[in-house]
Amino acid sequence: MAKSDVKAPEKEVKTTKGAAASKADVTVAEKLVELYRLQDIDSQVDKIRIQRGELPLEVQDLEDEVAGLETRMTKLQDELSEMEAQVSDKQNLIKDAKAQIKKYEGQQAKVRNNREYDSLTKEVEFQNLEIQLAEKRIKEAKAQIDAKKVVVEESKARHEERKKDLDVKRKELDDIVAETEKEEKELAKKSETAAKHIEERLLSAYRRIRSNARNGLAVVPVERGSCGGCFNSIPPQRQLDISSHKKIIVCEHCGRILVDEYVVDRVKGEK
């Protein structure tokens, strides 16, 4: 009875140790396959995000341009209204001046002496000069109004064109989001599942390298004797070390984890 009590806990301890060491017991080749599988899944997610990531920028640029054109058209319209108001003011000034001339000419018929007549004559001449100046200003303003109207029409045409482009891009973005959202979620789940098969130390290293890489590649194949990430040449002996799968090898130049054709073919064969 006493022997039985000693053996039972001993058996339980062995089972616990075996579970903890299961990931560590995986061969280097299998570790590399798991890492490259995770990289492949994450790269697919990156492509979706890049595809969607460019469109929002295009949409934002178009929204800014459309808003800018609307502001420009409002400003041009305000300038036009101001010019037309100035023309209207000058036309009213001419009417007033003509009324004054008519009044002065009527007074000239009733004057008693030359001094009063000369004074009224000067008033008439002054009003005629006012009319001439106002007509000149009206002519200049109308020329500016015509030029401004051309700019307004061009801005309207540009606004309509860019507004159509914006509508197209918005629809394209909505379609891509609707189309890729499900796929992205499925890939995210696959990535999470794949990550569970990798020991924490390696997973942390993978994520660190990936976050520092511009293209998100932490695990890359050797291609034509060069690193698939930075494209620097890899010495023959180091290539042999990579293909031997005795340990995990990183690129001396960019720090990415390197894999050979065997690992790549294993992952590609699963698709």
Pair 232, 253: CB distance under 8 Å: yes
Residue 139, token pair as written in the block: 């002519």
Whether residue 162 lies inside any domain: the answer is yes
DSSP, collapsed to helix, strand or coil, labels residue 222 as strand
Instruction: Report how far apart, in Å, the C-alpha atoms of 233 and of each of 206, 221, 223 are.
Output: 22, 12, 9
Whether residue 188 lies inside any domain: the answer is no
Distance CA 8, CA 29 (A): 36
pLDDT of residue 15: 33
Whether residue 215 lies inside any domain: the answer is no
Tell me the pLDDT tens digit for each residue of 173-211.
888 888 888 888 899 999 999 999 999 999 999 999 999
Whether residue 86 lies inside any domain: the answer is yes
Length of the chain: 271
Pair 107, 120: CB distance under 8 Å: yes
What are the two backbone dihedrals, phi and then psi, of residue 187, each rounded to the nearest 5 degrees? Answer: -65, -35
Residue with tokens 């660190």: 208
Residue 99, token pair as written in the block: 């009324």
Distance CA 90, CA 131 (A): 9
Residue 166, token pair as written in the block: 């914006």
Distance CA 45, CA 39 (A): 10
pLDDT of residue 228: 95
Nearest to 239 by CA among 229, 226, 254: 226
pLDDT of residue 13: 32
DSSP, collapsed to helix, strand or coil, labels residue 223 as strand
Domain hosting 62: range is 51-181
Residue with tokens 């969607």: 52
Tell me the pLDDT tens digit for each residue of 113-129.
899 999 999 999 999 99
CATH number, domain with residue 127: 1.10.287.1490
When divided into structural domains, the chain yields a total of 1
Whether residue 238 lies inside any domain: the answer is no
Whether residue 131 lies inside any domain: the answer is yes
DSSP category for residue 196 = T
Helices (H), ranges, 109-230: 114-195, 200-212
What are the two backbone dihedrals, phi and then psi, of residue 6, each rounded to the nearest 5 degrees? Answer: -80, -40
Residue 212, token pair as written in the block: 């520092």
The list of the chain residues with pLDDT below 70 reads: 1-25, 271
Whether residue 128 lies inside any domain: the answer is yes
Distance CA 193, CA 188 (A): 9
Residue with tokens 């695990």: 219
Model's pTM, two decimal places?
A: 0.51
Residue 29, token pair as written in the block: 């080749």
pLDDT of residue 52: 78
Whether residue 202 lies inside any domain: the answer is no
